[in-house]
Structure 1
Amino acid sequence: MKLEPVSPIYFLALAVMLASVTGPGCSPETDRGEELLELYRSVEVTPELSMIIEEDEEIIFGQLGSLASDSRGHFFVGDNQLIHIKHFDRDGNLLETIGREGRGPGEFSRVTNMFVARDTLYAYDFDNARLGRFVRNESGDGMRFDHYLDIEMTDERIPRGVLKSQNHYVVESIDLQAYTGQIALLDREGNVLEPDLLTLPLPERVNVMYQGNSFPWTRPLPRRSHYRLTPDDHFYYGWNDSLVITKYDIRGEPINTIRFDVVPPRVTREDTRDLAERMPEEIWNTLRSHVPETRPAFTNFVVDENERVWVNLGNIEEDTDEDRWIILDQDSELVASFRLYPNMFVHYVRDGMLHGIKTGEDELRRVALYDARI
């Protein structure tokens, strides 16, 4: 498949559009909030830090990004600054470095997401709009480059990431003219089966003046789309103004909806101070009136192999800085809940182990695995 060139102006607009993090919501109800917290405590589990990988003389990280693992427990870590992928065994020992910066075979410009399917590693190169496939080498200890799959897009649609189930690929793209996110369905050879499988809303924008020019800017704490593709060809999607996550089949037909009554926390003065410090004063003077009263209902979710949905509600309790996570089954029943280190982005859950990238108080990112088996 051929890649049509994308104008640089779209990348500038995309960078501006994606530069921030929630939208309007209803005020929390105190009684209901206390009731939910009691419910959480009644089914709480205590996760344990099982592994953490940080820089040492052998392992040097630039900026950690994507994370994936195979059936052996080996995991792969994308480095957005050093432009390569590090391959670790299940004990956290560095086995090899995969790829380097470039446009040749096995090379990348920017890897935005990775995944493993049938012990084959796939890495999506955003700048070159292609999906790299890496298979085990003859010894079985390392990975070797196999081939690229080019992702066909137009000037109006910028591909952001690719996911794979057993039989299909789904491609997320941004349509800048319509200002929507689009999910397309591809077969195993990369042929487009459904160009508009799902249409996702994008965060609300506000026009701001900066240095004499008007720019569309994402409103503070915006609501966002979240989605996951599972190996068995199921697609989960939620818009985080409320905790409603819909399960679809691979053709975009709804199968089930998972709901949970969550009271989003109020935006605090400390939140607004943090927002103000992150942007030029000229822009903040416009955006300050668009700060919502509440945060989103959730910040992220993943789906495990038992089709349980693990949802990060964010920091919703006054007595802790940790994030509150809940686990829901397909009937929307609360299975368990727990607290977890706040700056931990969980990429996936396997056998009750949360795999993610943890940002410490020193602002450095580390690979972290937590055991939350129930």
Structure 2
Amino acid sequence: MEKCKREISHSRFWIWVACLAVIYSCAAEKDVEIPEHVEDLDNLTVHSPDMEPTREIVLEEEVTYEDAEVIRGSILINVEVDEQGRVYIPDYQAKVVHAYNADGSYLDSIGRQGRGPGEFQMIWKIRVANGNLHVLDYMYQKMSVFDLQAMDHIRDVSLSLNEETDAPPSWLDQTRKKKLSYKPIDFYVRSDGNYLIFFGDEAVSSVVDNVEGRTYEVSLYDFLEKKYLKHDLLSFAWTGQTLIDQEGETVMFRVPYKRSSRFAYSGKELIHGWTEDLHFKTYNEEGQYQRAFFHPDPEIPLELEDALARYQNSDENVVKAIRNDTLPETWPAFNTIKPDDEHRLWVSVYTDDLEMYEWWVLDAENGELLTRFEWPKEKQIEVIKSGKLYTRERDKETGLEEVVRYDIKLGEQE
């Protein structure tokens, strides 16, 4: 009987704690204006605009990954780092992946231009996972996999939907009727070694009547069996950030001041956010919604002169199209989200200074603000791993892109 009483008392205690948490959450939300597309979400954490960081951060430059004997072309796409601190830099022009040791010395080149196994025509994305390098070739819709210990090619797998005759995705016929060609445009390696494949049509030309209704579609692919296990895992609206001139023709794609979609993969979770606000939704590896968190954003006013300043050396048609465009009242809330290996999200938030971002480091579980710091936009943060931060920068003397590593020092806020 005594044991039973203790259990009932223990249960009431946790109910009381839960009630306090709900009351606190509701009280916090009263001071925050929550967008309609956010307020009805389950398991939502809303943060106060007065939240202050709990940690201080210092970044110290350590290593630059370059080699005078290696002539690199443009990177254009993502950089990756393995568990040993070796850095992998895709070369879009030379169609190889350059590998560097942790100390900055050149190690090897992976793959080569061609159409055969382990060869590339258009390197689109690379990922490091489970001791392997995975390289997505957009042109041939295939994945090439390399063993990073031996630097040897293991296998190629086809990701094309042309062979999907038994159970094609639900969206396939509709997109083809719109004359869209959905191809693999991104991927993440799940904890079980299988792929989350993102499909979309990134081609936008002067024919703009098929822009509306585009999506990003996510499928699950079995790496070992070389087949799709499931389609329609997740679906997200396409960015749609095109700039149209007075003749109705597309003059620019991926316009930075327009709303767009961002993804990150942290551990066993997929994070999605629209750049218009600091609102992030988390899904598990099966595509099931888990939770979300929201921060009020700074709302930086967008003036026509600011938008034009980004394109002062652009084509005359681009400048005219921007002048005739209906601009949003503010810049997007953020530009990029990057996960690290300590269950944190790094978010580049817009500021009044067009040359700087304010990077927010958030707890990936609940969105708590851990620290923040200003950082030049020209130093693009690519990877945060094992207490190191890797950027993509342009050498002022040579004009070539290079990767730079910084040591991260996080301390308690004084």
Scaled by the length of structure 2, the TM-score of the pair is 0.72
Letter of the 2:326 partner, please give it: H
Alignment match of 2:230 (pick from 191, 194, 211): 194
Q: CA deviation at 1:279?
A: 4.3
Indicate yes or no: 2:271 matched with 1:236: yes
Q: Secondary structure at the match of 1:372?
A: strand
SS in 1 for 2:307: helix
Which whole-Å CA distance do the structure 1 matches of 2:301 and 2:394 have between them?
A: 24
Q: Which of 361, 364, 373 is residue 338 of structure 1 equivalent to?
A: 373
Cα deviation, residue 44, structure 1: 3.6
User: What letter matches 2:185 in structure 1?
Assistant: R
Aligned to 1:171: 197
Please list, as runs of the form range in 1=range in 2, the aligned pairs for 1:79-118 lying within 5 A after superposition.
79-118=91-130
Amino acid at match of 1:149: V
Structure 1 residue 202, shift from structure 2 partner = 2.2
Moved more, 144-153 or 222-231: 222-231
Higher-RCO chain (CA-CA 8 Å, sequence separation at least 6): 1
Q: Are 1:208 and 1:217, in contact at CA under 8 Å, matched by a contact in 2?
A: no
Q: Superposed, which structure 2 residues align to 1:54-203 within 5 Å?
A: 54=66, 56-64=67-75, 65-136=77-148, 140=149, 142-153=150-161, 156-167=181-192, 168-175=194-201, 178-188=213-223, 189-203=225-239
5+ residue gaps, structure 1: 1-24, 26-34
Residue in structure 1 matched with residue 338 of structure 2 by the alignment: 302
Shift in Å, 1:206: 5.2
Q: 1:327 aligns with which of 327, 350, 361?
A: 361
Instruction: Give, in angstroms, the shift of residue 302 of structure 1.
Output: 1.4
Residue correspondence of structure 1 range 201-350 to structure 2 within 5 A: 201-204=237-240, 205=242, 207-209=244-246, 214-215=249-250, 218=253, 221-231=257-267, 233-268=268-303, 270-277=305-312, 279-288=314-323, 289-314=325-350, 316-318=351-353, 321-329=355-363, 330-350=365-385
Counterpart of 1:238, as a letter, is G
* Residue equivalent to 2:404: 368
The answer to whether the Cα contact below 8 Å between 1:165 and 1:229 also exists between their aligned partners in 2 is no
Percent of aligned pairs with the same amino acid: 23
Matched with 1:9 is none
Is 2:61 the counterpart of 1:39?
A: no
- Report if the CA contact (8 A) 1:79-1:85 is conserved: yes
What number of residue pairs does the alignment pair up? 330
Q: Secondary structure of 2:259's partner?
A: coil
Structure 1 window deviating more from structure 2 (169-178 vs 110-119): it is 169-178
SS at match of 2:57: coil
Gaps of 5+ in 2: 1-34, 36-47, 163-175, 203-209
Whether contact under 8 Å (1:351, 1:373) holds in the other structure is no
Letter in 2 for 1:195: H
Contact 1:353 1:373 in 2 (8 A): no
